[in-house]
Amino acid sequence: MLRLGVNIDHIATLRQARYRGLDHGEPCPVDAVRQAEAAGAHGITAHLREDRRHILDRDIWAIRETVSTRLNFEMANTPEMIDIALRLKPDAVCIVPENRAEVTTEGGLNVVVQAGAIADTATELNKAGIEVSLFIDPDPAQIEASVRTGSPFIELHTGAYSEAYDDEAKRATELQRLTKAAEQAKTLGIEVNAGHGLNYKNTRGILAVPHLNELNIGHSIVSRAVTVGLGPAVREMLGLIDDSPPNG
């Protein structure tokens, strides 16, 4: 069964637009956790960025206490975040790159260059019983490097596919890249998740990629929730992936 992880970062983004610097505000990320899980989400994803631009420290601890499915904690590979992860004890950690100038994460980790440091982190988190995933572009060298880190999962960056979706030829090219990456990862013993830029228009297409365990989707669901509510938005997305045949 393909799982849906709902990323609630942009619930906090909306709150921070009005309540930045205050110890209260709306909408509440914890309420979003409850509503998403009640609607059938298989897990919750939240990214505590180094600059605390949306999810705050108080949020992530309250989210950990609230989640009844699975918590996927997105984080940069820094000593501060490793320490938080070891104390927070999420079900999974997804290590992502961070750039202070970006609006949201815009590219995959360069595991080829950072393999040693990432391997050290993966070892520490795995020993603590925390599942580790690496957010990478669908590139053969990055997948091979991911194997060397000992991380059991990768999350394929689907941004290029999402941006190319309206161009049939480019979409086909990006789907082929993702498919080859998923096949390579599976052959090398790594499990595969995917996410970034997926929405109600392009998610069905990504289901052609084999061996996927989980899709992590945030902005599109939160955007849809503005008009229909979070529960219905989550159920709509689940409907898109639940009707799909097994693919791997």
248 within a domain of the structure (yes/no): no
User: What pLDDT does residue 98 have?
Assistant: 84
Amino acid 127: pLDDT:
97
**Alpha-helix runs per DSSP H in 128-229:** 140-149, 159-164, 168-187, 203-206, 219-228
CATH number for the domain including 131? 3.20.20.70
- What is the reported pLDDT for 107? 77
The per-residue pLDDT for 242 is 85
Q: Does residue 247 fall inside a structural domain?
A: no
Active site residue 47: yes
242: number of Cβ within 10 Å: 12
pLDDT of residue 196: 97
**Residue ranges making up the domain that contains 160:** 3-242
| Count of domains observed in the chain | 1
With respect to residue 108, please indicate whether it lies within any of the assigned structural domains.
Answer: yes
11 found inside a domain: yes
Chain segment 50-75, per-residue pLDDT in tens: 999 999 999 999 999 999 999 999 99
Asked if residue 182 belongs to a domain, the reply is: yes
Query: Phi, psi at residue 13, to the nearest 5°?
Result: -60, -45
177 and 217 Cβ atoms separated by less than 8 Å: no
Whether 74 is a known active-site residue: answer yes
**Known catalytic residue: 191?**
no
**Which residues of the chain have a pLDDT value below 70?**
99-106, 243-248
- Residue 91, helix vs strand vs coil: coil
| Catalytic residue from among 37, 54, 196, 214 | 196
**From 37, 42, 54, 74, active-site residue:** 74
Question: Of these residues, 47, 155, 191, 214, which one is catalytic?
Answer: 47
